[in-house]
Amino acid sequence: MGKNMLKRIDLIFKNEHDTDEILSKIFKRSNDDLINDLIGSGLKGRGGAGFPTGLKWKLTSEAKDDEKYVICNADEGEPGTFKDREILTQVPHKVLTGMAVCGRIIGAKKGFIYLRGEYNFLKPHLNEEIDKFHAILKKLGSDFRIEIFSGSGAYICGEESSLMESMEGKRGEPRNKPPFPTEKGYLGKPTVINNVETLAHAWTIFKYGPKKFRDLGVQDSRGSKLFSVSGDTPIAGIYELELGMSLQDFVDDFGDDDCKAVQVGGAAGFCVPRKKFRETAIGYQGKLTGISLPTGGSMMLFNSSRSMYNVLKNYLEFFEEESCGQCTPCRVGCQQLLEGIEAVKRGEKHQHYLNKLLRLSETMKMTAKCGLGQSVANSFSSIVENFREEMIY
Amino acid sequence: MSKMVNLKINGIDVSVEAGTTILEAAEKLKIKIPVLCYHKDLCIAGNCRVCVVEVVGSRKLVAACATPVNEGLEILTNSLLVRNARKDIIELLLSEHNADCTKCYRNGNCELQDLAAEYKITNQDFIDLAHGTYTIDDLSPSIVKDDSRCIRCQRCVRTCTELQSVGALSVAHKGSEMKISTFFDRNIREVVCTNCGQCVIHCPTGALVEKTYIERVWDAIADPTKHVVVQTATAVRIGLGEELELDAGSRVTGKMVSALKRLGFDSVLDTDFTADLTIMEEGTELLHRLKANLVEGDTSEPLPLTTSCSPGWVKFFEHTFPDMLDHMSTCKSPQQMFGALAKTYFAKKIEVDPENMVSVSIMPCTAKKYEADRPEMRDSGQKDVDYVLTTRELAVMIKQAGIQFSDLPEEKYDSIMGQSTGAAVIFGATGGVMEAALRTAYEIVTGREVPFENLNITPVRGLEGVREASVKIENVLPDWKFLEGAELKCCVAHGLANARKVMEKVQNKEVEYHFIEIMACPGGCLGGGGQPIPTNDEIRKKRMDAIYEEDANMTLRKSHENPEVVQIYKEFLGEPLGKESHKLLHTEYFERQRY
Ligand SMILES: Cc1cc2nc3c(=O)[nH]c(=O)nc-3n(C[C@H](O)[C@H](O)[C@H](O)COP(=O)(O)O)c2cc1C
Ligand code: SF4
Ligand code: SF4
Ligand code: SF4
Ligand code: SF4
Ligand code: FES
């Protein structure tokens, strides 16, 4: 443990404050040029879905509308994750810069930071930073403006379309897709929505060029990423690591020598048992073993003292409560999965019932309306399949 | 023309306009995809997920109702993947549903039940989640809300918000607790609900139904000491057939009368009689107001005058535009005029003590149940209308009585208060009151018929949400000199969202109308909350055609020519807006809270 096998990266939190200089350089370059850099860097969204950021900006820049918006998703709802909070505390100017450049490229005059309700205490500090930033923009002749929007506190409001619904004063329920925000986002206008970390990486890419970023990581998973390491680890905390690392290396580095499983990507992510550490790499779906990292790179380690039944039960309780409740597979499915494993545990249902539940979770994955319901199967099937005995006895 | 997109559904090629959904494209091929949250009247929700279909080459299923087609798409609507998923979803719905259909009001006409039957969901392995503590709200005189039957499709919420702009229903809580609620979860009777019943006819299940009074009516009929009078609203005669296995748009007036007599009602009379009377009163009120405002400069009873025969609209108005109450016609609705006359004029005629009279009305409407309960509606000294049944409830009674409806002979209404004109018949369609009023008012003022072919004032007809028309008044009779050359500006709106739009414009003085007809329900009463389920534009259109056909087939088509109307003024009421009219046929309005 603590072997420091994995290289610690220091890009995001690197203490650099040359916003004026960087922005004035950027504003001299053409939009195409900037987009090409972003695409060339291989940056993918750090908020969950892993959509190529350059492509997202490009699509939105091509959408025809007088009004467009940039939204920074700072809803950070994943339990135990607080990397976005750290970014906004330590290097908010990087995020603001990312937003302003995005605004310039897509043709938006207005940006919003959708700030998780619990992070309201950051507001005074953030507003100060925004004022300073506006002054810089003014000097450079840009009238782009950023505003903070306080979130409602529901996990589902981190999902981009329900986030926009909630900004419009409506109930936070995911929309049908398509249309995607790049076409019809906030107020029905083309909108780029990016995670806090994604925007902060944009700073690195624009400042140092795409290569520096691209040289980190592996194919399909370029660059570095912040991980919130928690659970049975002696060194819990936030770490910036290269993508593409093997889970074995990660566990060697962060585990307590008794690690039996790692939950990659929080409640919506996958549970990897010890026997699969070696073959699992951390990165986006691609040629690698491919594990998507919904909402923000949470890595939770479990040692042999943990009951995986309880772990799963906690996740299901979380989903059952945080589902927006609108669509059938998710609203009812979550309840069935939760009550189902409880019934099996109590012996009221035969262990074969787990198979029915596995099939149900597949149905949820295929039919739920948004990422929340679609991702319940990730933890469900990976835990039930790998720790079946723990579910039953 | 917009771009065409080619795709394949179940291997069959189809070409549709860009922007079409998979569901609509399948419909074109007559391939049925099951739906629950989808309703043609409403915006797309995409939340029930029973319409999922497979897109070949993708690992996810998509909601057919919410997904636009793309060039080259290959869709499977009945693959193994789709069928298994769909079954799971139906099973999930049933697992949280209080599915004891035998105790449910919608048993036999329920979209969830139909789906369960279609997919033969016989072995329910999922855990029964339906034992939670659900509330049943049956305190409203019109609507019963039973959350245990709710599948959370939000059709009602979309109806109440989009079509009606009332917003009495909303979604509360999340996750497993998510439910359809009201302002602070109060009873429906305590909130802005207008009782229009549009949520009821849009609800796929038994979660929202009308409050039924069938048993009380049976009791009254069985009571030998009671004389039971029944009145039937105009839209019932073109809707009832649908509930009794006839096609939409069947005109069943004679059969309905015959059925009512067989059910045991003592007098079978027609609300259309008081519809004609309404025209006399309201038409006169309009002319009176025109004179007061235009000649005498008296604006105490301002213009525009709005109609008042739709009780859902009246309550909406009282909640939403409390400062404008004096714009509303003081005329009661035909139902309440009828009720007040039944227990006075009619009771005297047939020599029945009004205390022994039970007055029942058959309405296409749930708001009329509430209206009959309004404390003002007792001008006869008793409750003017005792029980209000919907078109659907009448159909239930007919079925319970074992009557073979389609085989019935045609019979005529009893007299007096059973005769009507085509002008009264068209009350059932949006624009009908306007047209009927114009037919009469124009003739009063000019001595000539309205200048429209066959009396058909087509500009006010149709399903367009808001329609405007103006009628030039020329060569008037001496009494009406002040109207010479005037242009009577009229507006017709149906559905409360349209009503709100129009009234906001009036409030902001953006428009200058003289007369506005408003019906709470889309299509007017023919699409009322008490009409057969389903109701959608296709069906509304058929019912509307039936109404205008019925009108065209009547010998009398102008309210003032109804001989029984002439008679009642002579024998009893005196003149329109006279003292007796004032007492029995007119009413007042009250400001109501806004939640
Ligand atoms: C249930 C759910 C919750 C989400 N919560 C967040 C969140 O808290 N923060 C975030 O950045 N993205 C969240 N997302 C992902 C967003 O929908 C969206 O994909 C992301 O903000 C896009 O930014 P990116 O491309 O920079 O990752 C969530 C998605 C789902 C389905
Ligand atoms: S999947 Fe869950 S959270 Fe997403 S729309 Fe459906 S119910 Fe809401
Ligand atoms: S709502 Fe439908 S399925 Fe449910 S109990 Fe009633 S009839 Fe049966
Ligand atoms: S009856 Fe009408 S107003 Fe009342 S809740 Fe239903 S739709 Fe809304
Ligand atoms: S009350 Fe009816 S329409 Fe409303 S959500 Fe429930 S089932 Fe759907
Ligand atoms: S009908 Fe398509 S999701 Fe409900």
B309 catalytic? Reply is yes
Residue B268, SS3 per DSSP = strand
One domain for residues A201 and A314: no
Of the CA atoms within 13 Å of residue B253, those in its CB half-sphere come to 21
SS3 of B180, please? strand
In this structure, is residue A10 part of a structural domain?
A: no
Q: What percent of chain B has pLDDT over 70?
A: 100
Could you tell me the domains of chain B? 4-93 (3.10.20.740), 98-210 (3.30.70.20), 278-330+429-536+551-585 (3.40.950.10)
Within a domain: A377: yes
Asked if residue A327 and residue A206 are part of one domain, the reply reads no
Locate the DSSP E strands across B454-527: 466-472, 487-494, 515-519
Asked if residue A360 belongs to a domain, the reply is yes
Judge contact between A167 and A112, C-beta under 8 A: yes
Cβ(A129) to ligand 1 under 6 A? no
- In angstroms, rounded to a whole number, what is the distance separating the alpha carbons of residues B411 and B256? 8
The reply to whether A30 and A165 lie within a common domain is: yes
Evaluate whether residue A255 is within a structural domain.
no
In a domain, A205, yes or no: yes
Q: Does residue A313 share a domain with residue A181?
A: no
Q: List the residue whose alpha carbon is closest to atom 1 of ligand 1.
A: A372
Question: A344 is in which domain, residue-wise?
Answer: 308-392
Q: How far is A96 from chain B (nearest CA, A)?
A: 33
Examine the domain organization and report whether A34 and A167 are in the same domain.
Answer: yes
Single-letter amino acid code for the residue at A268: A
| DSSP per-residue codes, A78-98 | STT--HHHHHHHH-HHHHHHH
ipTM above 0.90, yes or no: yes
Q: Does A228 fall in a domain?
A: no
Q: Where are the alpha helices (DSSP H) in chain A?
A: 19-28, 31-41, 53-62, 83-90, 92-106, 123-139, 160-167, 196-208, 210-214, 247-254, 308-322, 328-345, 353-367, 371-386, 388-392
- The percentage of chain B sitting over the pLDDT mark of 90, rounded to a whole number, equals 95
**Closest CB to B46 among A329, A339, A369:** A369
Same domain? For A203 and A322 the reply is no
The CATH number covering residue A337 comes to: 1.20.1440.230
- B175–A322 CB contact, under 8 Å: yes
Does the pLDDT value for residue B13 go beyond 90?
A: yes
Among B96, B242, B281, B282, the active-site one is B282
The CATH number linked to A144 is 3.40.50.11540
Task: Spell out the residues 6+ positions from residue A331 whose beta carbon is closer than 8 angstroms to its own.
Answer: A323, A325, B96, B152, B175, B176, B178
Cβ atoms < 10 Å from Cβ of B594 = 10
Which tens digit of pLDDT belongs to each residue from A62-96? 999 999 999 999 999 888 789 999 999 999 999 99
d(CA A238, CA A90): 13
Q: What is the Cα–Cα distance from A239 to A252, expressed in whole angstroms?
A: 15
Q: Which of B137, B150, B162, B193 has most ligand 4 atoms within 8 Å of CB, for mutation?
A: B193
CA angle (A107, A109, A110) in 5-degree steps: 125
- What does residue A336 show for φ and ψ, rounded to 5 degrees? -65, -40
Q: What pLDDT was estimated at residue A288?
A: 46
Ligand 1 contact, A174 CB (< 6 A): no
In the three-class reduction of DSSP (H, G, I as helix; E, B as strand; rest coil), residue B14 is classed as strand
Averaged over successive runs of 10 residues, the pLDDT of chain A (393 residues) comes to 78 94 96 97 92 97 97 92 95 98 98 97 97 97 97 92 97 96 98 98 96 93 94 96 93 96 93 93 67 70 97 98 97 98 97 97 97 96 97 94
- Residue at token pair 């009547």: B554
Q: Is the peptide bond before B304 cis (omega within 30 degrees of 0)?
A: yes
**Catalytic residue from among B329, B333, B359, B361:** B329
Please count the structural domains in chain A.
Answer: 2
Choose the final residue of a domain: A197, A214, A231: A214
DSSP strand E in B364-458: where? 387-390
pLDDT tens-digit readout, B365-424: 999 999 999 999 999 999 999 999 999 999 999 999 999 999 999 999 999 999 999 999
| pLDDT digit string, tens, across residues B465-511 | 999 999 999 999 999 999 999 999 999 999 999 999 999 999 999 99
pLDDT of residue B150: 97
Sorted by sequence, the CB contacts under 8 Å of residue B478 that are 6+ apart come out as none
B590 CB burial (10 A radius; 0-12, 13-18, 19+): exposed
Residue A373 covered by a domain: yes
Q: Which of B450, B373, B369, B398 is nearest to B200 (CA)?
A: B369
In a domain, A272, yes or no: no
Mean pLDDT of chain B: 96
Final residue in a domain of this structure, among A163, A193, A214: A214
Task: Please tell me the distance between residue A65's alpha carbon and the centre of ligand 2 in angstroms.
Answer: 30
Q: Which residues pair with A371 in a beta bridge?
A: none
CB A165 within 8 A of CB A171: yes
Distances in Å between the Cα of B587 and the Cα atoms of A366, B134, B309, B408 are: 58, 39, 11, 39
Instruction: Please name which of B533, B553, B552, B551 lies closest in space to residue B239, comparing C-alpha atoms.
Output: B533
Query: Residue A13: what pLDDT?
Result: 96
Last residue of a domain, one of A214, A239, A261: A214
- Position A1 scores a pLDDT of 47
Q: Kindly state whether B158 is in contact with chain A, defined as any CB-CB distance less than 8 angstroms.
A: no
Our answer on whether the CB atom of B208 is closer than 6 Å to any ligand 5 atom is yes
Whole-number Å distance between alpha carbons of A208 and A205: 5
Are the beta carbons of A323 and B175 separated by less than 8 Å? yes
Residue B309 Cβ < 6 Å to ligand 5: no
- Distance from C-alpha of B366 to C-alpha of A28, rounded to nearest angstrom: 67
Asked if pLDDT for residue B216 goes beyond 80, the answer is yes
Which chain B residue shows the shortest CA-CA distance from A173?
Answer: B174
